[in-house]
Amino acid sequence: MDVKSVSVCLVGELVIHANNDHSEVKAKTDLVKKDFPGISAGATTIDQAYSLDLVGPSERYAVLPPMTSGLVTTRHYVEVRCKFLWGPNVHIEIPVKIMAIPEVAVAALSNLLADVKTKAL
Range of the domain at 39: 3-120
pLDDT at 51: 75
Taking the model in full, what pTM does it have?
0.66
pLDDT of residue 29: 86
Q: Which amino acid is at 117?
A: K
Q: Is the pLDDT of residue 13 over 70?
A: yes
pLDDT at 32: 83
Longest dimension (CA), the chain: 60
CATH of the domain at 77: 2.60.40
The count of structural domains within the chain is 1
- In tens, the pLDDT along 41-62 reads 777 665 567 777 766 555 556 6
Read off the pLDDT of residues 78-119 as tens digits, 9 standing for 90 and up: 998 888 887 788 889 989 887 766 665 566 666 666 665 555
Is the pLDDT higher at 37 or at 61?
37
